[in-house]
Amino acid sequence: MTSVASTLPGPALQASQAALTAAMDQNKSAEENSKANGDESPEPGEIQEVDMEAQEQKIRTVFEDPKSFNVKHPLYSAWTLWFDSPATKGRNLPQTPMSSFPQTPVPQTPGGVAALGWMEDIKSVITFDSVEEFWGVYNNIVPPSKLPNKANYYLFKQGIIPAWEDEANKNGGKWSIQLPKGKNERFIDTMWLNTMLAAIGETLDPLPEDGEEQPASLITGVIVSARPQFFRVSIWTRSAPSGAGGEDDALRERIEGVGRVFKTYVLGYPEAQKLAGPLATEVEFLSHKDSEKKGKQAKKIIV
Ligand code: MGP
């Protein structure tokens, strides 16, 4: 040990040296103990064997680091929230600091190009792929009951734009319900929250069990719209039955399943309840092709 010239008086210097020696001895015996236990710390550059099985068994939870809260719960898919409102027409929204994802431009796909006019005033707000980020977004945006008239939130799987023209939507349709204003402000926020949770939780068109063959989820996105006299909540699907029979019957059954989950579990109505009334609709399905025809000869499915 290097001796350092000290200005301490004799007894104090002796006490200080004794304390230092004791600390060094303690450190040495801790190192020896850990070597005896086989948990040596690696030398710089040394390659270590990792017991993968032991690591897998150790599940990381949010309790491991309760201060940093650095464990995220990933969603099955990433989702992009889009928004339009009379107030955002012709304006660019500021980038939000809430996520590392950049704002999503309308893709230069044939569908994206065809929908450019429609998408002009629809702004992407944020893309998220974890439960925590979803709540971060949800807790910081205006609920549908407080949206201005003609505003819409669109929550779509990342990469799909909220337009009929998108490849994922062009053969699809939508389940929707219209609820008159004046009576439904109390319910619309919960209905929209439940709709988003069912979408990001993939419970509207349940995912295949392990090893089960099933085409990609039917759901492409969900929308809430505020209009002067009513609210509308919609669920967009990738396909729409044409009524041709055969394989189409299986698709129709699957689409009807989505409608039933929407009506009962998400919106909270008994399955047999009739909902239509002044400015209110049943939970009804319409293909986008029929929507484009503005309802002429539309074939609606109702649950
Ligand atoms: P809307 O807003 O879905 O219906 O569509 P709403 O709420 O009944 O009507 P609003 O006038 O009160 O807003 C309104 C209109 O927007 C449609 O008739 C179309 O002209 C146009 N539009 C709607 N969507 C969903 C699309 C789309 O995906 N692509 C294109 N190109 N136009 C659309």
* Å from CA of 164 to ligand 1 middle: 10
Nearest CA to ligand 1 atom 24: 163
Q: What spacing in Å lies between the alpha carbon of 21 and ligand 1's midpoint?
A: 81
Return the residue whose CA atom lies nearest to atom 8 of ligand 1.
Answer: 227
**Residue 162 CA: which ligand 1 atom is closest?**
28
Ligand 1, residues at Cβ distance < 6 Å: 115, 118, 163-165, 225, 227
For ligand 1, atom 19, name the residue with the nearest CA: 292
Residues forming a β-bridge with 180: 230
Cα of 232 vs centre of ligand 1, distance in Å, is 12
Ligand 1 centre and the CA of 144: distance in Å?
A: 18
Closest-CA residue, ligand 1 atom 22, reads 118
Instruction: Give the distance (Å) from ligand 1 centre to CA of residue 266.
Output: 24
Amino acid at the residue 15: A
Q: What is the pLDDT of residue 75?
A: 94
pLDDT value of position 252: 94
Quick one: which of 215, 115, 236, 223 has its CA closest to 168?
Answer: 236
Determine the Cα–Cα distance for residues 184 and 281; give it in Å rounded to an integer: 13
- From the list 98, 200, 115, 213, the residue with the least C-alpha distance to 166 is 115
Instruction: Name the closest-CA residue to atom 17, ligand 1.
Output: 292
- DSSP-derived 3-state class of residue 263: helix
Closest residue (by CA) to atom 21 of ligand 1? 118
Q: State the DSSP code for 183.
A: T
Q: Which amino acid is at 303?
A: V
pLDDT in tens, the chain (303 residues): 434 445 555 655 565 565 555 545 555 554 565 555 555 566 766 666 666 666 666 666 666 776 776 778 899 999 999 999 987 776 665 555 444 445 567 777 887 777 888 888 899 999 999 999 999 999 999 999 999 999 999 999 999 999 999 999 999 999 999 999 998 888 999 999 999 999 999 999 987 777 777 667 999 999 999 999 999 999 999 999 987 767 788 899 999 999 999 999 999 999 999 999 999 999 999 999 988 876 566 789 999
Q: How far apart are CA 85 and CA 301, in angstroms?
A: 30
Q: Which pLDDT does position 37 carry in this prediction?
A: 56
Beta bridge partners of 128: 79
Of 174, 292, 294, best ligand 1 pocket probe by most atoms within 8 Å of the beta carbon: 292
Which protein residue has the closest C-alpha to ligand 1 atom 13?
150
